[in-house]
Amino acid sequence: MPPPPEHVERVDARLAFIELQQDEFLRSPEGDLALPLPPGWTLLPLPSDLADGTIGVVLDSAMTAAVVVQRLQPTEAIAAALERGDVRGLARACFERRLQRTGNTIRLLSDFRLVARDSMRLGTYEFVENVRDTTALRRTRVAVVPTSMGGIYEVALSPLVLSLDRVPEERMLDSVFVYVMQILRVP
């Protein structure tokens, strides 16, 4: 079967928007991204040693996952993908940026995917850190979110392993990641 024509967008997953009535949000300073905090979730104070562009860190109510939201400064590859409207390519460029910034200490675990929710398009990927201790493999899920105001954000969900007897289940983390993409607001 031939590939679809270039102008046809191949979407890997479609999500429904979930309207979450909350008063507390993690908002970007520019106002082009907001994450409502579900009941019991905690917005942490930002330590000074976080990566540039980090606008917030949120813990889920079970304290099994952290969501880190970061605004990215475009590299040449990110800007080119954004200009082409290639959200899957944008996710690839963001992973390559992350790979470079970590000194090649991470490994890609997934394909670069395109997720659609209403008119919003997100690129997603998953990675793990290259560590020798494999007792608790920590898979980080990332959604790359371009906004209509030209902002580019990474919304990353990482498991919190506080002890080896409390390792979060991958299915539960997948569900939390999908939920975060469903409640995310990009005006």
Q: What mean pLDDT value characterizes the chain?
A: 89
CATH for the stretch 15-183: 3.40.1000.10
Q: Does the structure show a pLDDT above 70 at 1?
A: no
Residues 6+ apart with CB under 8 A from 105: 129, 130
Q: Does the structure show a pLDDT above 80 at 20?
A: yes
pLDDT at residue 85, as a whole number: 92
Q: Does the structure show a pLDDT above 80 at 7?
A: no
- What torsion do the CA atoms of 176, 58, 182, 24 make, to the nearest 10 degrees? 130
Q: Does the structure show a pLDDT above 70 at 102?
A: yes
Q: Does the structure show a pLDDT above 90 at 165?
A: no
Residue with the bigger pLDDT between 63 and 166: it is: 63
Q: Does the structure show a pLDDT above 90 at 153?
A: yes
pLDDT at residue 187, as a whole number: 81
> Which pLDDT band, with edges at 50, 70 and 90, does 18 fall under?
very high
* Nearest alpha-carbon partner for 116 in 3, 8, 9: 9
Residue-wise pLDDT for 106-152, tens only, equals 999 999 999 999 999 999 999 998 876 655 568 999 999 999 999 99
The distance from CA 24 to its chain's CA centroid, rounded to whole angstroms, is: 20
**For residues 41-48, average pLDDT:** 90
Q: Does the structure show a pLDDT above 90 at 71?
A: yes
Of the listed ranges 1-5, 75-79, 139-143, the one predicted with least confidence = 1-5
**Pairing between strand 13-14 and 113-117?**
parallel
> Rounded to a whole number, what is the largest CA-CA distance in the chain?
52
pLDDT at residue 17, as a whole number: 93
* Nearest alpha-carbon partner for 145 in 171, 172, 116: 116
